[in-house]
Amino acid sequence: MIAASLSLTILGAALGLVLGIAGRFLAVEANARVAELESLLPGTNCGQCGFPGCSGAAAALAEGHAAPTCCPPGGRAVARALAEKLGVSLDLSGVDDEGPKLAVVAEDLCIGCCRCVKSCPTDAILGAPKQIHNVLREACTGCAACVEQCLTEAILIQPVPVSLPHWVMPRPAAA
- Rounded to the nearest whole angstrom, what is the least distance from the CB of residue 100 to other proteins in the complex? 6
2 lies in the binding site for other proteins (CB under 8 A): no
27 versus 108: smaller Cβ distance to other proteins: 27
* Residue at 105: amino acid letter: V
**Hey, CA dihedral for 117, 118, 120, 124, is it positive or negative?**
positive
* 130 is a contact residue toward other proteins (CB under 8 A): no
124 binds other proteins (CB under 8 A): yes
Q: How many Å apart are CA 121 and CA 146, to the nearest integer?
A: 9
Q: Measure CA 91 to chain center.
A: 16
Q: Work out which of 61, 62, 86, 116 binds other proteins, going by CB under 8 A.
A: 86
The answer to whether 94 contacts other proteins (rule: CB under 8 A) is no
Q: Which helix (DSSP H) or strand (DSSP E) does residue 159 occupy?
A: strand 155-159
Torsion of CA 12, 13, 15, 19, to 10 degrees: 130
Contact 120, 146 (CB under 8 A): yes
Any contact of residue 127 with other proteins (CB under 8 A)?
no
Chain contacts with other proteins (rule: CB under 8 A): 3-4, 7-8, 11-12, 15-16, 18-19, 22-23, 26-28, 42-45, 74-78, 80, 85-89, 92, 99-100, 120-124, 138-139, 141, 162-164, 166-172, 174-175
